[in-house]
Amino acid sequence: MTYELFYWPTIQGRGEFVRLALEQAGVEYTDVARSEGPELGVSAMLELVERKDLAHPSFAPPFLRDGDLVVGQTANILLYLGSRHGLAPRSERGRLWTHQVQLTIMDLVTEVHDTHHPVSVDLYYEDQKPEAARRAKSLRESRMPKYLQWFERILERNGKTGQRIGRELTYADLSLFQVVEGLNYSFPTAASRALTDAPLVSTLSEAVTQQPRIAAYLESDWRIPFSEDDVFRYYPELDG
């Protein structure tokens, strides 16, 4: 059975955390909203969201269909995929820890999103720029360093590898790479400064890019570039 990923077709967004796991797993998947044909495209995604006979509709994309199972919430999708494709430890303890790190990564992603949308997702960035300036300052000076220092600390404590969160590569490592990429794109000055104090985070991020499947994916046209319609946006006035 081929997985079907449902996510907005023109951005990385939260769907990218799932894409990275699917790519690393080396499994076939249909990126439904990015595909053309019957029962494909954005309309197919919106149709599935609205389908009244779907017992478990998701609040928002991304969601993943595996046969008649539909799973939503990014971290929950990764929980599901992780245990199936060797992207999470087998032990309950290891699985819980990997998931805990993932949930903390998702919290940071939400905080990054809110730097350009501190007031409302229904408004444009241009309609909330003064609020965004204050929120971004807080991210740059307080929150981003705090998160990165936490990631650094957990990598330090995983003495076994130094380049991974756990013993083997997991979806949380892939996600941490994605966040580092996103921070470097959206806050080049502030992220560069904060990462100076988090060398293991940078090392992990670099190590992820050396994974053959991830390397091939990142070099392919299939990887959507960062943009200012996405979660990670580069607005020079918010960096510094």
Catalog residues that contact a copy of itself under the rule CB under 8 A. 52, 54-59, 69, 71-73, 75-76, 79-80, 93, 96-97, 99-100, 103-104, 107, 110, 114, 118-123, 128, 131, 134-135, 137-138, 142-143, 147, 150, 153-154, 157-158
Judged by CB, which is closer to a copy of itself: 100, or 189? 100
Q: Closest separation between CB of residue 5 and a copy of itself, Å?
A: 16
In whole angstroms, the minimum distance from the beta carbon of 26 to a copy of itself comes to: 22
Nearer to a copy of itself, 35 or 76 (CB): 76
**Distance, CA of 86 to CA of 26 (rounded, Å):** 11
**Which of 34, 233 has the CB closer to a copy of itself?**
233
Distance in Å, CB of 184 to a copy of itself, minimum: 21
Instruction: Give the nearest distance from C-beta 210 to a copy of itself in angstroms.
Output: 25
Residue number, 17 or 226, with CB nearest to a copy of itself: 17
Following CA atoms 131, 13, 194, 133 in sequence, which dihedral angle do they give, to the nearest 10 degrees? -10
Question: Beta 29-31 vs 3-6: how paired, if at all?
Answer: parallel
Kindly state the smallest distance separating residue 106's Cβ from a copy of itself, in Å.
Answer: 8
* Closer of 101 and 214 to a copy of itself (Cβ): 101
Distances (CA, A) of 40 to 6, 48, 98: 10, 11, 33
Nearer residue to a copy of itself within complex by CB, 150 or 217 = 150
Q: In the complex, what is the shortest distance from the CB of residue 156 to a copy of itself, in angstroms, rounded to a whole number?
A: 9
